[in-house]
């Protein structure tokens, strides 16, 4: 909990996207179907439209602010409600001020325009309540806690990312994959997003991973996918932790792309009961220090296994096998 030297607004501030419209050079105006944005996931995915000729998009947004903000006896004046959209990877930050709507100052409405050329992957969007407090203008007195995401890469408005899976024959494939021609898959964490390369030269593996067969096939498939996901989580964690930028005083910084997301997600399981910033410092110290970080490996493995749903997949498989055996015995 941080301390502020002025009165803040208690209560929940929330943001909703109510409409999205794609705009293009030839006066294209394409209002997106509601399937392109999800209020539950809090994600906007313009990719749902399957059109590639848009240049910018306009979101209609609505914020709900606790009624106390505008109460006559409140300590805040010059109230403003501002939506901020930013993407670290492109250093882009745009803001728009909302206007008071109906419902006695609790609802605020407005538009936010996003230019496609300014964004690469995922932009996040939050709402901030700003006011003059004790004579100081521009104080942030409240903010939304859960960001909205505008996802330019996905074709569905989902918060969790789907893995990028490429099926390729390793024997004849890109140079660096050829040495791995005996294994069923390889995880590549070097790019914008982690990619899983499935080796089509490994007979049957792509049918098994992508297929929908008998119940035994499906059990094996789910177990295999859980294994694959464990590999991915382990690989992305090591990549992220191994490529940190360090401040002059030795404090590691969270990367601003998916590597940062991965660390924030996994660190609570690797170093439990500590704020993520402390956890990052701790892991970095252990990894680069003299005592080594072998004792952390089981925790990293635990964090990866949990995210990959291994326990669930395995217990389902074991139960499934049991019932098959019983059927065979009967």
Q: Which residues bind another protein (CB under 8 A)?
A: 2, 4-6, 55-56, 80, 82, 84, 86, 88-97, 113, 115-121, 128, 130, 136-140, 175-176, 188, 190-192, 245, 253, 255-256
Task: Please state the closest distance from residue 13 (CB atom) to another protein, in A.
Answer: 14
Please return the burial class of 325, using the count of CB atoms within 10 Å of its CB with bins 0-12, 13-18 and 19+.
exposed
User: How many alpha carbons lie under 13 Å from residue 330 in its C-beta half-sphere?
Assistant: 6
- According to DSSP, the residues that pair with 93 across neighbouring strands are 86
State which residue, 188 or 282, has the beta carbon closest to another protein: 188
Q: Are 132 and 76 in contact (CB under 8 A)?
A: yes
Nearer to another protein, 16 or 111 (CB): 111
Q: CA quadruple 136, 141, 147, 150: dihedral positive or negative?
A: negative
3 state DSSP class of 41: coil
SS3 call for 311: helix
Separation of alpha carbons 318 and 330, rounded Å: 18
Burial zone of 296 (CB within 10 Å; 0-12 exposed, 13-18 middle, 19+ buried)? middle
User: Smallest distance, Å, CB 118 to another protein?
Assistant: 5
CB of 93 to another protein, least distance (A): 4
Minimum distance from residue 61 beta carbon to another protein (Å)? 15
Closer CB to another protein, 128 or 221, in the complex: 128
Q: Which is nearer to another protein, 164 or 188 (CB)?
A: 188
Evaluate whether 131 touches 76 at the Cβ level (below 8 Å): yes
Nearer to another protein, 117 or 328 (CB): 117
Nearer to another protein, 133 or 308 (CB): 133
d(CA 213, CA 204): 13
Strand-pair category, 195-199 with 164-168: parallel
Element (H, E) at 62: strand 56-64
Q: Which is nearer to another protein, 207 or 245 (CB)?
A: 245
Task: Give the shortest CB-115-to-another protein separation in angstroms.
Answer: 4
We find the least distance from the C-beta atom of residue 173 to another protein, in angstroms, to be 13
- How far apart are the C-alpha atoms of 150 and 120, rounded to whole Å? 10
Minimum CB separation of residue 224 from another protein in Å reads: 25
């Amino acid at each position: 909990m941080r301390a502020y030297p002025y009165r803040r607004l208690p209560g929940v501030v929330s943001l909703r996207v109510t409409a999205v419209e794609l705009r293009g050079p030839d006066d294209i105006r394409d209002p997106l179907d509601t399937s392109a944005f999800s209020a539950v996931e809090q994600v906007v995915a313009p990719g749902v439209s399957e059109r590639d000729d848009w240049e910018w998009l306009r979101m209609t947004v609505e914020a709900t602010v606790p009624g106390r903000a505008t109460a006559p006896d409140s300590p805040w004046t010059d109230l403003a409600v501002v939506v901020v959209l930013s993407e670290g990877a492109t250093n882009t930050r745009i803001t728009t001020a909302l206007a008071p709507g109906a419902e006695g100052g609790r609802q605020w409405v407005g538009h936010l325009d996003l230019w496609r050329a300014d964004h690469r992957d995922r932009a996040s969007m939050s709402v901030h309540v700003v006011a003059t407090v004790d004579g100081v203008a521009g104080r942030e007195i409240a903010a939304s806690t859960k960001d909205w995401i505008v996802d330019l890469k996905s074709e569905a408005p989902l918060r969790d990312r789907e893995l990028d899976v490429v099926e390729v024959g390793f024997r004849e494939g890109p140079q660096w994959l050829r040495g791995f021609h005996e294994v069923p898959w390889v995880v590549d964490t070097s790019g914008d997003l982690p990619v899983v390369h499935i080796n089509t030269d490994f007979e049957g593996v792509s049918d098994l991973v992508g297929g929908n067969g008998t119940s035994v096939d499906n059990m094996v498939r789910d177990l295999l996918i859980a294994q694959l996901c464990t590999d991915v989580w382990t690989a992305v964690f090591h990549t992220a932790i191994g490529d940190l930028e360090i401040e002059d005083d030795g404090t590691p910084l969270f990367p601003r792309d998916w590597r940062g997301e991965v660390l924030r997600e996994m660190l609570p399981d690797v170093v439990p009961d500590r704020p993520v910033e402390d956890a990052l410092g701790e892991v970095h110290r252990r990894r680069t220090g003299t005592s080594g970080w072998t004792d952390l490996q089981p925790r990293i493995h635990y964090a990866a296994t949990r995210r990959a749903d291994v326990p669930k997949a395995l217990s389902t498989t074991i139960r499934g096998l049991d019932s098959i055996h019983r059927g065979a015995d009967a």
